[in-house]
Chains A and B, each alone.
Chain A
Amino acid sequence: MFRRTVGFVKAVNDVSFSIRLGETLSLVGESGCGKTTTGRCIARVYNPSSGSIHYQADEGESVDLAQLDSRELRPYRRQIRMIFQDPFSSLNPRLPILQIVGESLKANRIARGSELEDRVAALLKRVGLRHEYIRRYPHAFSGGERQRIGIARALALNPKLIVADEAVSALDVSVQAQILNLMQDLQEEFNLTYLFIAHDLSVVEHISHRVAVMYVGKIVELASTDALFRSPLHPYTEALLSAVPKPDPRLRNSGVRIRLEGEVADPSNPPSGCYFHPRCPYAQDRCRHEEPAARQIRHDHWVACHFAEELELRGFEAIGSTPDVRQARARAQPSRKVPKT
């Protein structure tokens, strides 16, 4: 929560979740729901006002990142890195790629001189860029290539956890596919854990093991990707899923679209009870007065809704894909194992 002259904005309020080693957890929600703030608190770009962030360090002991001061944080900053949304504004235009990617190696006294160059060249190669590019400046690269540079920078210190904040949102669909594939390859190779922040549900569905849905600073539902997309338990999740355009004209009028009336609630002046009740088609009296607590309803499926057991919500209908897409899929590589939990 940040201090403003006009009052407090509870950008992220009472959010609890855990990320398992080697998994991709996605945070989804509309703009202003606090997903970016959550990610930045974990990377300690922002300081949380209260709460704890437990991080399992190498030696097995768990540390609370929220309590550490900047000097104590240093070893963990190596392990938690960020990838940003806009590949144009997140790279310093006045530094060559060698410095952008190598800065953290130099600052941590890991490599310098020709060794630094070799390491940066190896990183560039790993993300699919030519090592000759090492002395070029960001303006010489396209959006997709810049995002690869951002990924190389995040990888430089062998991190454990990567917070990817809308990492593919600004990219064209063909480039987006390249970057998503690269991120999945890197996850396998280095056993990375991703906190993937996104608003595009089809991308989220593709890359995540588990998904958390946020609304006005709170997590309203958290479940495995399959469970969340097939059988959502929160009305907001249902509405989000129904709004996704389906890439097949033959399905145009097939699904029922739930129109959300009104606007996202103002986080500085949230509604009483359940924050979603003014827009919820199923809202009842209880929702106006009583705030729902997050409950585990099915195995590993958490939801904050009073009526989660009673409502019968629709999931993302199985979309009949076109024959061309099936062919492409047959050509794709075999699927990988889901990490042990």
Chain B
Amino acid sequence: MPDDNETLLDVRDLKTHFFTDEGVVKAVDGVNLSLKRGQTLCVVGESGCGKSVTARSILRIVPAPGRIVSGEISFRQRHGDRIDLARMNPRGRDIRNIRGREISMIFQEPMSSLSPVHTIGSQIMEAILLHLPVSKAEARKRAVSLLDLVAIPRASEQLDAYSFELSGGMRQRAMIAIALACEPQLLIADEPTTALDVTTQANILDLIRELQEDSGMSVLFITHDLGVVAEIADEVVVMYLGRDVESGDVDTIFHNPKHPYTRALLQSIPRYDSRAGERLYSLKGTVPHPFYRPAGCPFHPRCDDFIAGQCNANDPQRYNFSAGHSVRCLLYVADDDRSLRDLPT
């Protein structure tokens, strides 16, 4: 376990597998990530790469038949003790004291993650009353100030509104208010702006950033949108088929990416200065079916820089390119002496 006080969350070699009737799906198969206090870590990747399951593993809300097989999720609690969330009983009292109190989560679909039969206010107050020793009246007052904080207009009236009475952006703000009710140390945001319009998305991202500046909480942000990553991330983890294929600070990932997959993702974004009719760079093939995981490097069938006999046979290990920048790719660890080879350009 890391012993410095700055690292809030440290995930080591996490494996979460789903034991279905048809076979084992290795949704998360060796993920490492580390999040410092007050920072924003973005997890990016295509659908099916295991980014949501990683987030759910941290909160121990992986749905059956999934379960954490191995790995360590070290979390530094408010009073300074480190605990391993991966070893906790997912139904136990300890993890319930952490959910909503120390770690909160907001989801992609604010309509389906809010209760349609409870008012916004009662859902915020539930979180407060569960974790803090306050009276109902105090909880209500706190709920109003939370709605104010997330810039919902006429907060005291909206407290008695139901989720269907709010617009998409307002619902996501209400979700954030619930998540922030007990001033968590870590906010996990799973694609919180994907379902929103671009103007609303910009407002929600600004809001998360402002709240983070004020409270000093850390944010684990899951998204597939590299534009959003560029806007808010301090650190980035790129995932492919349940692995962290590259991680580093945001500037390194965008301006000095090393893994062919990271490069391909960056190249396939349509950019402003492209000319009409120009073709986009596109990755060949699609993400393989979870039951048919390729041997060796899972990315090799789609990789332009594939080395026959290497990439389809050997499993690439994490290689530290520089401090804080690690890559899993055999192009960089071709020989036993770990000599560095750069990508052919």
Contact = CB atoms under 8 A, between A and B. Distances in A.
A86 interface: no
B277 A336 contact: yes
Interface of A: 30-31, 142-145, 172-178, 180-181, 184, 199-203, 205-209, 225, 229, 239-240, 242-252, 257, 259-260, 263-264, 316, 318-319, 321-325, 327-329, 331-333, 335-338
B265 interface: yes
B95 interface: no
Interface in B174-231: 197-203, 205-206, 224-231
Interface in B262-281: 263-281
Given A172-B46, A244-B227, A249-B254, A202 B269 contact: yes
A199 B194 CA distance: 12
A184 B280 CA distance: 10
B278 to A, nearest CB: 5
B282 interface: yes
A188 B25 CA distance: 42
Given A181-B279, A249-B250, A322-B254, A173 B231 contact: no
Nearest to B287: A142
Contact of A173 (B251, B265, B286, B345): B265
Contacts of B168: 31
Contact of A209 (B203, B264, B273, B276): B276
B197 A329 contact: no
Contacts of B255: 250, 322-323
A229 B275 CA distance: 12
B263 A239 contact: no
B224 A172 contact: yes
Residue from the set A174, A177, A247, A333 with the largest chain B CB neighbour count within 10 Å:
A174
A273 to B, nearest CB: 21
A245 B225 contact: yes
Contacts of A229: 272
Given A174-B46, A249-B254, A324-B267, A243 B280 contact: no
A338 B199 contact: no
B227 A181 contact: no
A334 to B, nearest CB: 8
Contact of A247 (B266, B277, B280, B286): B266
B169 interface: yes
Given A243-B199, A321-B273, 14 more contacts: A30-B199, A173-B265, A184-B277, A199-B197, A202-B269, A207-B276, A246-B227, A246-B231, A247-B227, A247-B269, A259-B202, A318-B272, A318-B273, A327-B345
B147 to A, nearest CB: 16
B233 interface: yes
Residue from the set B199, B228, B257, B283 with the largest chain A CB neighbour count within 10 Å:
B199
A202 B227 contact: yes
A173 B268 contact: yes
Contact of B271 (A243, A249, A319, A323): A319
A242 B272 CA distance: 13
Nearest to A140: B289
Given A173-B269, A319-B272, A335-B276, A247 B46 contact: no
B53 to A, nearest CB: 16
B113 interface: no
Given A184-B277, A324-B266, A30 B197 contact: yes
A31 B168 CA distance: 10
A301 to B, nearest CB: 16
B202 A257 contact: yes
Nearest to B203: A259
A319 B273 contact: yes
B198 A243 contact: yes
Interface string B326-345: 00000000000000000001
Contact of B268 (A174, A240, A248, A335): A174
Contacts of B224: 172-173
Contacts of A246: 227, 230-231
Given A245-B230, A247-B226, A250-B251, A180 B266 contact: no
Contact of B280 (A200, A259, A332): A332
A66 B202 CA distance: 39
A225 B270 CA distance: 14
B286 A142 contact: yes
7 contacts: A176-B268, A205-B272, A209-B276, A225-B276, A323-B255, A328-B267, A335-B275
A144 B288 CA distance: 12
Contact of B254 (A199, A245, A247): A247
B47 interface: yes
